[in-house]
Amino acid sequence: MPYEGLTTIEVEVEGGIAWVYLNRPEKKNAMNPTLHAEMIAVLEELEGDANVGCVVLAGRGNTFSAGQDLKEFFRDLSGDPIAFKKAQRNANDWRWHRLEVFDKPTIAMVEGVCIGGAFTQMIACDFALAAEDATFCLSEINWGQIPGGLVTRVVTEALGYRDALDLCLTGRKFDGIEAAKLRLINEAVPAAELKTRTRALAELLMSKDPEAYRATKHAVRYVRNIPVREAEDYLAAKIGELRMRAGTGAQEVAIRKFVEEKSYRPAESSYTSVSDKIE
Ligand code: COA
């Protein structure tokens, strides 16, 4: 079994959804170098696993993650720049570079704490749902640090300028309800409903054509930082790539349903926000 023998991660695949749990509850799922290495291997496996249509990232012990392991990641590696560089590269690889353009839908399911470095993977996921009473905090300034790794970069990507400055400079705690108001997450729900809501969203995302989902995710992520003309060209090329990977089948079926069969209406299958009722 590909997901056995892991010491810091637990994976449960059920109904096409891979529930990926950071599994160091005794340390509030603080991320040590072993966890980063294991997550790289796990994501690699999940991306190619035909039984998996959606990845949910969560944490054991009803908590998401207390960020980087201050002892094992920072202090223990402080005298070993090569080991530190490797751990840092692994950390950024899975939490951002890999997740940002992961081929399948990804959802961060946040309960308990989400602190510091844990913001990176939470923001990288396509969607983030949290318990209303979850605790978020960019605590680095309280440790005499800046939000390093890629945290400052991804926070400024997710939030407006004023809110990014506020959270980074004050290091204050805030709950899931405020995180939703800031649009740092899609939605906050009562803790007891979080898993059900997450499953419903995962099922909705898995109902989309997988190749169209993948290409659309790439398109949204990549066009933001390129000029309009290059974006126009990129999107045209991306449509070409989509046709090459998927053929024209999915698009043709959808158009036929609309034109000939008249069985397709956008309002029947779409929703504009996770805040809308998913069912
Ligand atoms: N790195 C290493 N260990 C951590 C950790 C971290 N980021 N966060 C928590 N832990 C460990 C604690 O040291 C403790 O270990 P111990 O039982 O061996 O002493 C265990 O997890 C439980 O934490 P504890 O502080 O006892 O629980 P709590 O419920 O009172 O508080 C937190 C939980 C998360 C609020 C608190 O531990 C905390 O503030 N952690 C630091 C988070 C942070 O600032 N991270 C930023 C890193 S970039």
Which pLDDT does position 7 carry in this prediction? 98
Cα of 115 vs centre of ligand 1, distance in Å, is 10
DSSP 75: I
Local structure of 214: helix, strand or coil:
helix
Phi and psi at 164, nearest 5°, equal -60, -45
Q: Which protein residue's CA is at the shortest distance from atom 4 of ligand 1? A: 27
Q: Is 141 in the pocket of ligand 1 (CB under 6 A)?
A: no
Which pLDDT does position 254 carry in this prediction? 81
Q: Which protein residue's CA is at the shortest distance from atom 32 of ligand 1? A: 66
Which pLDDT does position 273 carry in this prediction? 56
Cα of 27 vs centre of ligand 1, distance in Å, is 6
Which pLDDT does position 270 carry in this prediction? 41
Question: How many other C-beta atoms are found inside a 10 Å radius of the C-beta of residue 5?
Answer: 7
Q: Is 70 in the pocket of ligand 1 (CB under 6 A)?
A: yes
Cα of 83 vs centre of ligand 1, distance in Å, is 23
Cα of 124 vs centre of ligand 1, distance in Å, is 23
What number does the ligand 1 atom closest to the CA of 145 have? Answer: 48
Cα of 114 vs centre of ligand 1, distance in Å, is 11
Q: Is 139 in the pocket of ligand 1 (CB under 6 A)?
A: yes
Which pLDDT does position 1 carry in this prediction? 62
- Whether 179 and 82 have beta carbons less than 8 Å apart is answered as no
Which pLDDT does position 275 carry in this prediction? 52
| Residue 131 Rama label (left phi>0; alpha psi -120 to 50; beta) | beta
What number does the ligand 1 atom closest to the CA of 63 have? Answer: 34
Q: Is 149 in the pocket of ligand 1 (CB under 6 A)?
A: no
Q: pLDDT tens per residue, the chain (279 residues)?
A: 689 999 999 999 999 999 999 999 999 999 999 999 999 999 999 999 999 999 999 999 999 999 999 999 999 999 999 999 999 999 999 999 999 999 999 999 999 999 999 999 999 999 999 999 999 999 999 999 999 999 999 999 999 999 999 999 999 999 999 999 999 999 999 999 999 999 999 999 999 999 999 999 999 999 998 999 999 999 999 999 999 998 777 778 888 888 888 887 765 544 445 555 554
- Whether 198 and 110 have beta carbons less than 8 Å apart is answered as no
Cα of 81 vs centre of ligand 1, distance in Å, is 24
Contacts of 113 (CB under 8 A, 6+ apart): 28, 63, 64, 65, 66, 134, 135, 136, 137
What number does the ligand 1 atom closest to the CA of 27 have? Answer: 21
Distance in angstroms (rounded) separating the CA atoms of residues 36 and 138: 20
Which pLDDT does position 162 carry in this prediction? 98
* Token output for 63: 């908590």
Local structure of 59: helix, strand or coil:
strand
